[in-house]
Amino acid sequence: MAVETASHAAEATAHGFDLLPIVVLLAAAVVAVPLFKRLGLGSVLGYLAAGLAIGPFGIGLFSDPQAILHVAELGVVMFLFVIGLEMQPSRLWAMRGEIFGLGLAQVGIAMGLLTCVGLVLGYPVAVSFVAGTGFVLTSTAIAMQMLDERNALGQPRGRRVVAILLLEDLAIVPLLALVAFLAPGGEAVSTADRFVAIAIGIGAILGLIVAGRYLLDPMFRLLGRTKAREVMTAAALLVVLGSALLMQLAGLSMAMGAFLAGVLLSESSFRHQLEADVEPFRGVLLGLFFLGVGMALDLDIVAANAGLIAISVVAYIILKMIAIYGVARLFKHERGEAIERAVLMAQGGEFAFVLYAAAVGVGIIDAEANAILTAIIIVSMVLTPIMVILHDRFLPKVAPSIEGLEIPHDLRASVLLIGFGRFGQIVSQPLIAQNCSLSLIDTDTIAIREAEAFGFKIYYGDGTRLDILHAAGAHAAKLIVVAVDDRETSNRIVELIRAEFPNTRLFVRAFDREHAAELNRAGVTYQIRETFESALLLAEEALRAMEVDEETIADLMEDTRRRDAERLIIETAEDIYASRHLIRGNMPGANS
C-alpha cells in the first residue's frame, strides 16, 4: 500500500506544475533586493546580482535565461503602459519639440560617435554601425526605474529623458529597415517593400489610435456595469498585451504599443483603476526582466573576449555620455541635469538585442559577434546602477543656473515678499489689487522663469542672507511677508529680520502648530498655519452638507477659532500638550 502511494506521489510530481523555478526566482528577488537597497545600491543592481547568482554562470539553477527574458519583457511593456497613463495627449503634444528635437539630436550624434568605435577597432562600416547603433538605444527599463526611484518622472528633467526614450523606441523601425539595406544583397530589397513595411507600421499606429479613441472607454464603461473586478483586470491586461501584440506584428516595438494604449486611456474615467490593476503585474515582471538580464551575462564569452569587451564598454559609455552631455548643453539644459542624464542613459538597452538578432539574420554579423555585443550591452546595464550611485555620492550638488536671472539691487517697495510658491502667489493678489508695491525674491530658478509668463518680476535671492535682504529693500519696507515652504529656512529668515529690522512688521507662513508657537515666541507680528483657513472652510461646507443651520454653523466656527487661539497662547508659553483640554476628541468622555 505504501509503495502504491509513493508511486502515485511520484507520478503527480512528474506530471504536476513545477513550482521550483518560480519559488527560486521569488526567493532570489526577496533576498537580494532588500539587501542591496539597505546597502544603498538600489533595487536594479539587486535584481541583476540575483540573476547572475542563480543563472547558468552562478549556481546554475537556470540554463535558459533567454526564455525568462522573453516573458519578462512584458514587465517593460506594462511599465510603459503605466507611464502612458500619466501622459495625457495634451502633455505629449507639448513634448513634441523634445521628442523630435532633443531626442533626434541625441540619437543622431550618439550614432555617429559610437560607429567610430568599431571603425577604430578595424571592423567594417556595416558591422561598426550596427554595433554602435545598438548601444545608442538606451534601456527603457533601467532608465525608467532609476527615474522612478529618484522621484524624477514627474519633473521636467525626467520628462525630457522620457521624450528621448520615446524617440529611441520610434527609431527602432527605420533602424531595422536600414539593417536590411546594409546586409549583403540588401540593396536588392525593393523600394516598394520598404514602403509597404512603413505603411503597415503607420497603419497599425493609426488603427490603435482610432480604437483607443472610440472603443476603449465605451468597452470599460460596459464592463464596469458588471461589477466584476476580475473582468476589469482581465480587460486591462487585454488592452496592454493586445496593443503590444499589434505593434509587434506590424514590426514595431511592443513597448510603443503599450505606451500608446496608456496615452489613449490617460483621460479615461477608468485610468486610476487600470493603473491599480496593472501595477502588481508590472512590478513583478519588471523585476523578472532584470533577473533575466543578470542570468544572460555569459561569463565564458566575457572571459574569452575580456579585453575587447572592456575596451568596447568603456569606449561606448564614454562616447555616449559625451554625446548626451553635449546635446543637453546645446539645448541649454543646466550642467547638473546634463551630467545626470548622461549617467542615467549611458548604457545600451534591450532593443539592441532585437537589432543584433536582425543583423545576424541578414548576415551582417555572425553568432559569436552577436554574443560579444550582447555581453557588452549587458555589462553596461549592470554598470549603470553603480555609476548612478557614484554620481550621487561623489559629484557635488550643482547650484542651479541663474543665467538670465536678476539679483536684487537697491529695491524699494512697501512690501517685501520672500518666497513665491503656491502660498506666496495667493498672498500677492489682493496686495497688488490694492496697488501696494511688491518686491519679490525666491531661490527656485524654474519658478522664477515660469512666473515671467504670468506677469511677475521675481528676483533671485536667498532670504537667509543679510546682504540680499538689504538689496531687496527690507530696511525700507513697511511689511515683510515670509512665505517660504521650508520650516528651518523660515526660522532663519525670521531670526535674521528680527535681529536686523526689529521695527518692521513681520507676517509669516507657519508649517504647523509647533511652528506657529515658535514664530510667536520669536516675536512675529502675525503668523498663520498654511492649512488653517482652508481646513475651516472645508469644515464649514461639510456642516452645510449635514444640513446644520447657518446660525449654529457660525457659532461652531467662532468657537473653533476661539479655542485654537487660546491653545496657541498656551502652547507659546508652555508646550503643545498643555492645551489638550481645549481639544475635542472622538473618544467616549473626551469632551466632558
Three-state SS string over 561-578 comes to HHHHHHHHHHHHHCCHHH
Asked whether the predicted pLDDT for residue 474 surpasses 90, the reply is yes
Q: Per-residue pLDDT tens for 55-72?
A: 887 787 777 777 776 666
Predicted confidence band at 91 (pLDDT cuts at 50, 70, 90)?
low
Task: Confirm if 109 and 167 have CB atoms less than 8 A apart.
Answer: no
Three-state SS string over 207-229 comes to HHHHHHHHHHHHHHHHHHCCCCH
Of the candidate ranges 88-92, 402-406, 492-496, the one whose mean pLDDT is the lowest: 88-92
Which 8-state DSSP code applies to residue 461? -
Average pLDDT, the chain: 81
C-alpha R_g of the chain:
30
Q: Per-residue pLDDT tens for 249-289?
A: 876 667 667 777 777 777 776 767 777 777 777 777 777 77
Q: Per-residue pLDDT tens for 498-547?
A: 999 999 999 999 998 889 999 999 999 999 999 888 999 999 999 999 99
The mean per-residue pLDDT over the stretch 28-46 comes to 78
C-alpha grid cell, residue 131: 554595433
Predicted confidence band at 52 (pLDDT cuts at 50, 70, 90)?
confident
Q: Per-residue pLDDT tens for 195-232?
A: 777 777 778 778 877 877 777 778 877 877 777 777 87
**HSE-up (13 A, CA, CB side) for residue 25:** 22
pLDDT of residue 41: 66
Q: Per-residue pLDDT tens for 380-394?
A: 888 888 888 888 888
**Three-state DSSP class for residue 353:** helix
pLDDT of residue 292: 78
Predicted confidence band at 453 (pLDDT cuts at 50, 70, 90)?
confident
Name the pTM for this structure.
0.58
pLDDT of residue 1: 42
Higher pLDDT, 47 or 138: 138
The candidate with the shortest Cα–Cα distance to 386, out of 26, 48, 128, is 48
